[in-house]
Amino acid sequence: MVVKVSVIGLGYLGATHATAMAELGHEVIGIEIDSKKLEQLSGGSIPFHEPGLEQAFSRNLSSGHIKLSSDFASLASADLHFICVGTPQRQGSDAADTSYVVSAAKALASHLRPDSVVAGKSTVPVGTAAELKDVMSEIAGFEVNLAWNPEFLREGTALEDSLRPDRIVVGAWNEHSVGVLKTAYAPILNHGTPFLVLDVPTAELVKVAANAFLATKISFINAMAEVAEVSGADAVALANAIGYDERIGNKFLRTGIGFGGGCLPKDIRGFMARAEELGVGSAVDFLKDVDAINLRRRDRVVELAKQELGSLSAKRVTMLGISFKPDSDDLRDSPALEISQRLAKAGATVTVHDPVSLEALAEKDPSLGREAELIEAVREAELVILGTEWKQYREADPELLGSLVAKKTVIDGRNVLDVARWQQAGWKVIALGRSIENA
Ligand SMILES: NC(=O)c1ccc[n+]([C@@H]2O[C@H](COP(=O)([O-])OP(=O)(O)OC[C@H]3O[C@@H](n4cnc5c(N)ncnc54)[C@H](O)[C@@H]3O)[C@@H](O)[C@H]2O)c1
């Protein structure tokens, strides 16, 4: 059954969700208040890099399955509204800034009918939905059907994750909301995808709890890396060995420069801030260590660069990869970006190579050098750092790159290089969490 849906906020989450809804056969109206973004989207292009998304989005735009507007009045005929606006970290605080969600909800409220359903997809502090429900109901003049439907997509595989999720989680106050969401997701549920109906606070918590767990797993292995570095042990081999235990598992257990992006860092900080407000700050105090371990990995790379180069002044450093993960150009809280900026601040001449993120970098920090050709990027480098595990770097020819650099030293910040092959080509390989013997 075709459902008329609106998607409010067309960033990473909303543009993907609008496309997924259209792919499922629904009629979609997308609302975006950033006029530059809306103009780009209206021309059929996605303002960020996400494999496969632009083709699917523009196809649905051309066929009329997706319509776009900045005017909330144009969503009045929709039966189901998804709130997908941002919840960044608040300036000067760890807490999540929910002001975008509040203002989107307020703008939406006056266009609702008593049978309309609103589903929040943004990641919010537990308790936000209950507050929004009161605010919206007061404006609408009736009790709004609000549900929370957190999103688990991963950038890089966002559309695929939206169309084939591990599970769909819905927190709702009434059956009507659950029924409408079930109808919208029916084509996915027909494949046997679990549909979990929970109370609203649990649904809100599922998302932050999942991200807190994932962040903890990464910081756990990076804490082991710190120990390995001073004891002669090898954290890569250690991760592999403990990962065989199926209670532990080997996913998200790769030691390196740690996590970043628009979700994990701000979500664990927002979680700590909310727990503190609720009087249970000590319950998630460990997340402070998770955050600190993660940030210490960035310090470690800067320290290693200084050890290798002595003073950083005017030293030529090449950063391979600047996005927080491969297959994305998202630079939000990217470890490679922070390391590059710190090296540049200490006097190094940093040249960044990245298969897709140089345009985003030019906007975010035009002061860093950018080079689109890998061969040119490493030419005359005195230190190469692998910051994002793009396939292209894993497959790069160390002989060829070695013939171009001034000094064959590489810091593998993601533990993806074939160490023996690079060493055979004459490189000194320094890897996080490993004590590698170099000739
Ligand atoms: N990016 C991800 O991988 C991901 C995954 C799961 C959940 N989330 C969550 O989804 C939410 C959105 O994240 P994002 O990465 O898409 O952020 P984003 O900043 O890329 O997108 C948010 C969009 O909302 C728009 N917006 C803000 N206020 C608006 C309003 N009142 N009306 C209409 N549009 C408005 C902004 O202009 C922007 O385009 C966050 O809560 C995030 O934690 C993100």
Atom of ligand 1 nearest to the CA of 121: 10
Q: Is the CB of 102 under 6 A from ligand 1?
A: no
CA 6 to centroid of ligand 1, rounded, Å: 14
Tell whether ligand 1 has an atom less than 6 A from the beta carbon of residue 74: no
Q: How far is the CA of 121 from the centre of ligand 1 (A)?
A: 9
Over the stretch 424-434, which tens digit does the pLDDT of each residue have?
Answer: 999 999 999 99
Kindly give the distance from the C-alpha atom of residue 133 to the centroid of ligand 1, in angstroms, as a whole number: 20
List, in sequence order, every residue forming a beta bridge with 31; answer none if it has no partner: 8, 69
Best mutation site among 12, 123, 124, 364 for ligand 1 pocket (most ligand atoms within 8 Å of CB)? 12
Q: How far is the CA of 287 from the centre of ligand 1 (A)?
A: 24
Query: Atom 26, ligand 1: which residue's CA is nearest?
Result: 9
Residue pLDDT, tens place only, 141-196:
999 999 999 999 999 999 999 999 999 999 999 999 999 999 999 999 999 999 99
The answer, yes or no, to whether any atom of ligand 1 lies below 6 A from the CB of 37, is yes
In which band, very low, low, confident or very high, does the pLDDT at 369 lie, cut at 50, 70 and 90?
very high
Query: Is residue 436 scored above 90 in pLDDT?
Result: no
330 alpha carbon – ligand 1 mean position (Å) = 13
Ligand 1 neighbour 84 (Cβ under 6 A): yes
Q: Which whole number is the average pLDDT over 374-385?
A: 98
* Residue 279 predicted with pLDDT over 90: yes
SS3 per residue for the chain: CCCEEEEECCCHHHHHHHHHHHHCCCEEEEECCCHHHHHHHHCCCCCCCCCCHHHHHHHHHHCCCEEEECCHHHHCCCCEEEECCCCCECCCCCCECCHHHHHHHHHHHCCCCCCCEEEECCCCCCCHHHHHHHHHHHHHCCCCEEEECCCCCCCCCHHHHHHCCCCEEEEECCHHHHHHHHHHCHHHHCCCCCEEEECHHHHHHHHHHHHHHHHHHHHHHHHHHHHHHHHCCCHHHHHHHHHCCCCCCCCCCCCCCCCCCCCHHHHHHHHHHHHHHCCCHHHHCHHHHHHHHHHHHHHHHHHHHHHHHCCCCCCEEEEECCCCCCCCCCCCCCHHHHHHHHHHHCCCEEEEECCCCHHHHHHHCCCCEECCCHHHHHCCCCEEEECCCCHHHHCCCHHHHHCCCCCCEEEECCCCCCHHHHHHCCCEEEECCCCCCCC
HEC assignment per residue over 338-365: HHHHHHHHCCCEEEEECCCCHHHHHHHC
pLDDT attached to residue 290:
98
Question: What confidence score (pLDDT) does residue 320 get?
Answer: 98
Task: Give the side-chain half-sphere CA count within 13 A for 381.
Answer: 31
85 Cβ closer than 6 Å to some ligand 1 atom: yes
Q: In what order do the strands lie in the sheet with 428-431?
A: 369-370, 349-353, 316-320, 383-386, 409-412, 428-431
Q: For residue 317, what are its two tokens?
A: 């450093």
Residue whose C-alpha is closest to residue 327's, from 158, 180, 206, 174? 158
> Is pLDDT above 90 for 435?
no
Contacts made by residues 366-371, CB under 8 angstroms, sequence distance 24+: 368/340, 368/341, 368/344
Q: What is the mean pLDDT of the chain?
A: 97
Residue 124 alpha carbon, nearest atom of ligand 1: 41
Which residue has the CA at smallest separation from atom 28 of ligand 1? 100
Asked whether the domain spanning 199-439 has the same topology as the one spanning 4-198, the reply is yes
List pLDDT tens digits, range 197-223: 999 999 999 999 999 999 999 999 999
How many A from CA of 24 to the centre of ligand 1? 21
Here the tokens at position 38 are 């809306």
Predicted confidence at residue 437, as pLDDT, reads 86
The topology under which CATH files domain 199-439 is Rossmann fold (3.40.50)
- pLDDT confidence tier of residue 438, bands split at 50, 70 and 90: confident
In percent, the amount of the chain with pLDDT more than 90 equals: 99
Q: How confident is the model at residue 327 (pLDDT cuts 50, 70, 90)?
A: very high
Nearest atom in ligand 1 to the alpha carbon of residue 150 is 7
Query: What phi and psi, each to the nearest 5 degrees, are found at residue 70?
Result: -105, 0
Q: The domain 4-198: what is its CATH number? A: 3.40.50.720
Residue 88 has a pLDDT of 97
Residue 439 has pLDDT above 90, yes or no: no
The answer to whether the CB of 291 is under 6 A from ligand 1 is: no
| CB 104 near ligand 1, within 6 Å | yes
Classify residue 69 as exposed, middle or buried by CB count within 10 Å of its CB (0-12, 13-18, 19+).
middle
Residue whose Cα lies nearest atom 34 of ligand 1: it is: 9
As annotated, the active-site residues are 263
0.95 surpassed by pTM: yes
Using CA atoms in the order 242, 243, 245, 247, what is the torsion angle rounded to 10 degrees?
110
The atom of ligand 1 lying closest to the CA of 104 is 31
Q: Are 402 and 380 in contact, with CB atoms under 8 Å apart?
A: no
Domain boundaries, the chain: 4-198, 199-439
pLDDT at 357 over 90: yes
Distance 15 CA to ligand 1 centre (A): 9
